[in-house]
Amino acid sequence: MIGIAVSLYDKFDDLGVLVDILRHNFEEEYYISVCSNHPDAASRIEPIDVDHFVQGAEIEYTPEMSGLRADINLNSRILDSMQRSCRGAMDAGCEYVMHLHADAWPLDESKLLGLVDRLDDSEKHAAVRGMGSSYRRPKFWLGSVMDQFFLFESDGFAERSFFEFDPRDLLPHTAIHNMLMLLLLGNVGRSNFFYYSDKTTDLWWDDREKTQPYAGVRPSTFVPEYGFVHVAAEDFPEDYGRSVQANYLRRFDITGGEYVTRLRENHEMQESKLFRRLRWKELKQNLRVRCYGYRPVTFGRRYPVKADFLDKPFEEKLTQLAKNVGEEIYHQGHRLLFAVVPFTDERFTGDHRSRNLYRDAAWPEESMGDLFRDTVEPADFPADFGPGWYEYGDE
């Protein structure tokens, strides 16, 4: 049996739709294991037809947190939920397990099963998505592996105790995608997993091609080769995120189930009308951010991120304009210089857009141990986690 491991916080309606897709629209039988850190998760998930539920660790996080403490706590909580939901499916005897978030849905069963067959034929232990091990950013030291649509073979992972870890050991001040890469490289080995998608063919909600590396997976992403879709409904204005979700269900003729029916009845609209309204809202935002020296593509079509900037005090926006103009002058000068000066070192003649995405080298102001000791609040983590690695040694 194939296991579907789902981690979430409070997207219970999205979970209901995902379960409806698997139970009422796909033909195979799937074991569904779910983990949530929400304090009311057990009662909220009880009406949904899942096979296994486990409560996540009580790792403190609120949207009001900021800085590295927020990164460490949120990433630890995300990976803890993934760990527990996947173990639930493995313990049930599932041969293969795919990890999803509640708002990440497989829509084409034949393509999902085809990917499972591809992993089985490969004799490797995992098939993953991401921008690969050559992609670099300060929070992506080793490249990027997505935690959703993450498919693995249970026996291989069990032999390596893959999901036996303290999330604090995986440097959660970086990103969940870097943490997963650490796990895969150190535990599974590079020769034992493969990328089935490098995200270069991902599409936006209106089928436009994404511009990497700015695009990300929010507010939505669609993987046409596999029929995988992720829609963060809250990242769209008003209720249009729900309409985007309903539109994908319509495209793939997903009709069965209580949650699917409710979503489509309440939010489905004509596709051309939906696209026209969202593009108009986007156009108005883009015109405004351009006035402050931004290229809209750098926002990755994230409505709330642009809205947050536009809501800032005028003085802050004016300061950002000066900074953006200065950076643009620098980048254009860089491009012109190496257009006329022969210089073959590829480290310096690459796409100028990538220069601000990573550092070639850095001498930190404090050690990693000092950073964690200064940032982590012991009370944020359950007592049974024990001491963190940073409580010993001189680093």
Q: Is 90 exceeded by the pLDDT of residue 299?
A: no
- Which pLDDT belongs to residue 250? 97
Token couple for 65: 């947190």
- Which pLDDT belongs to residue 332? 73
The number of beta carbons lying within 10 Å of the beta carbon of residue 335 is 12
Q: Can you tell me the mean pLDDT for 278-296? A: 90
Query: What strands, in cross-sheet order, belong to the sheet with 150-153?
Result: 52-55, 30-36, 2-8, 96-101, 150-153, 126-129, 193-197
- Residue 74 resides in a domain: yes
Looking at this protein, which amino acid is placed at residue 196? Y
The greatest distance separating any two alpha carbons of the chain, rounded to the nearest whole angstrom, comes to 67
- Residue 372 resides in a domain: no
Segment 40-51, tens digit of pLDDT: 999 999 999 999
Segment 139-174, tens digit of pLDDT: 777 778 999 999 999 999 999 999 999 999 988 888
* Structural domain boundaries enclosing 128: 2-198
Q: Can you tell me the mean pLDDT for 356-374? A: 64
- Residue 109 resides in a domain: yes
What's the pTM value of the predicted model, to 2 decimals? Answer: 0.86
- Residue 366 resides in a domain: no
Looking at this protein, which amino acid is placed at residue 385? F
- Residue 223 resides in a domain: no
Q: Can you tell me the mean pLDDT for 264-279? A: 96
Report the distance separating Cα 257 and Cα 265, nearest Å: 12
Beta bridge partners of 2: 30, 96
Closest residue by Cα to residue 371 from 76, 171, 138: 171
- Residue 9 resides in a domain: yes
> Mapping DSSP to helix (H, G, I), strand (E, B) and coil, where does residue 358 land?
coil
Kindly report which listed range (87-91, 161-165, 178-182, 342-346) carries the lowest average pLDDT score. 342-346
pLDDT band, very low/low/confident/very high, at 346 (cuts 50, 70, 90) = very low
More confident residue, 218 or 101: 101
Write b or e for each residue in 181-208: b if 16 or more Cβ atoms lie within 10 A of its Cβ, otherwise e. Answer: bbbbeebbeeebbebbbebeebbbbbee
Segment 215-226, tens digit of pLDDT: 778 899 999 999
- Residue 65 resides in a domain: yes
Report the distance separating Cα 390 and Cα 383, nearest Å: 16
Q: What is the mean pLDDT of the chain?
A: 88
Token couple for 138: 């300060």
Number of domains, the chain: 1
Token couple for 227: 């029929």
Cβ atoms of residues 96 and 152 within 8 Å: yes
Domain of 33: which CATH number? Answer: 3.90.550
The number of beta carbons lying within 10 Å of the beta carbon of residue 46 is 9
- Residue 107 resides in a domain: yes
- Which pLDDT belongs to residue 15? 98
Report the distance separating Cα 216 and Cα 281, nearest Å: 20
More confident residue, 179 or 18: 18
